[in-house]
Amino acid sequence: MIKINNLTKIYQSKDKQVVAFDNINLDIGEGEIFGVIGPSGAGKSTLIRCLNLLEEPTAGEVIIDGQDITKLSTYKLREARKEMGMIFQRFNLLKSRTVADNVAFPLEIAGKTKREITIKVAELLELVGLADKANNYPSQLSGGQQQRVGIARALANDPKVLLCDEATSALDPETTHSILELLKKINDKLGITIVIITHEMEVIKEICTKVAVLDKGTIAEHGDVIDIFTNPQAEVTKRFIERVINANVPEELLSRVTVANPDKGRLVKVSFIGESAAKPMVSELVHNFAIDANILYGNIDKIQGTPFGTLIIELTCENPSIIEDGINYLVEELEVKVEVIENEGSVLSSN
Amino acid sequence: MKEVFSLLIKDSGLLWQGILQTAYMVSVSMLLASLFGIPLGIGVVVSEEGNILENKAINLILSTFINITRSIPFIILMVALIPLTRIIVGTSIGTSAAVVSLTIGAVPFIGRIVEGALKEVDGGVIEAAQAMGANPWEIISKVLLPEALPSLVLGLTITAISLIGYSAIAGAIGAGGLGDIAIRYGYHRFQTDVMIKTVVLLVVIVQIIQNLGTYLARRLDHS
Distance of alpha carbon A158 from alpha carbon A155, whole angstroms: 5
The phi and psi torsions of B33 (rounded to 5 degrees) equal -65, -35
User: A244 exposed, middle or buried (CB, 10 Å; 0-12, 13-18, 19+)?
Assistant: middle
Long-range contacts of B56-63 (CB under 8 A, 24+ apart): B62/B111
Distance of alpha carbon A130 from alpha carbon A179, whole angstroms: 13
Strands A161-165 and A193-198: parallel
User: A136 exposed, middle or buried (CB, 10 Å; 0-12, 13-18, 19+)?
Assistant: middle
Distances (CA, A) of A193 to A1, A30, A89: 8, 6, 19
pLDDT score, position A30 = 94
Amino acid at A54: L
- H or E stretch including A295? strand A292-303
C-alpha gyration radius of chain A: 25
A interface residues, B as partner, C-beta within 8 Å: 52, 54, 78-82, 84, 86, 88, 90, 92-97, 105-106, 108-110, 137-139, 153, 157, 163
C-alpha gyration radius of chain B: 21
Of B127, B133, B134, the CB nearest to A92: B127
Distances (CA, A) of A157 to B29, B51, B136: 44, 25, 19
- H or E stretch including A44? helix A44-51
Contact A78 B127 (CB under 8 A): no
Q: What is the pTM of this model?
A: 0.86
Q: Where along chain A do the CATH 3.30.70.260 domains lie?
A: 251-350
Q: Where along chain A do the CATH 3.40.50.300 domains lie?
A: 2-242
Q: What is the mean pLDDT of each run of 10 residues along chain B (223 residues)?
A: 75 88 94 97 94 94 93 89 89 88 94 96 95 96 97 96 89 81 85 88 94 96 88
Distance of alpha carbon B154 from alpha carbon B117, whole angstroms: 9
With bands split at pLDDT 50, 70 and 90, how would you rate the model's confidence at A260? low
Most confident of A32-46, A148-162, A230-244, A257-271: A148-162
Contact by Cβ (8 Å): A223, A49: no
Contact B133 A105 (CB under 8 A): no
Contact A110 B133 (CB under 8 A): yes
pLDDT score, position A150 = 97
Distance of alpha carbon A241 from alpha carbon A247, whole angstroms: 10
pLDDT score, position A227 = 87
Distance of alpha carbon A126 from alpha carbon A34, whole angstroms: 26
Contact A96 B220 (CB under 8 A): yes
| Domain limits, chain B | 2-220
Contact A109 B222 (CB under 8 A): no
Fold (CATH) for A251-350: Alpha-Beta Plaits (3.30.70)
The neighbour count for residue A106, using CB atoms within 10 Å, is 27
Residue predicted with more confidence, A310 or A73: A73
Query: What CATH homologous superfamily does B2-220 map to?
Result: MetI-like (1.10.3720.10)
CA distance A25 to chain B (A): 23
Instruction: Suggest the residue from A49, A50, A92 to mutate for an interface test with chain B (most B CBs closer than 10 A).
Output: A92
> Per-residue pLDDT tens for A306-324?
888 888 888 888 777 888 8
Distances (CA, A) of A200 to A39, A50, A177, A196: 9, 21, 12, 11
Of A78, A92, A96, the CB nearest to B133: A78
CA distance B223 to chain A (A): 5
From 3.40.50.300, 3.20.20.80, 3.40.630.30, 3.40.50.10860, which CATH number describes the A2-242 domain? 3.40.50.300
**B161: closest CA among B58, B30, B9, B63?**
B30
Chain B residues with CB-CB distance to A152 below 8 A: none
Instruction: Suggest the residue from B54, B132, B223 to mutate for an interface test with chain A (most A CBs closer than 10 A).
Output: B132
CA distance B67 to chain A (A): 28
% residues pLDDT > 90 (chain A): 56
Contact B133 A81 (CB under 8 A): yes
pLDDT score, position A261 = 57
Long-range contacts of A126-129 (CB under 8 A, 24+ apart): A127/A152, A127/A155, A127/A186, A128/A152, A128/A182, A129/A182
In sequence order, the 6+-apart residues with CB closer than 8 A to the CB of A249 are A267, A296, A297, A312, A341, A347
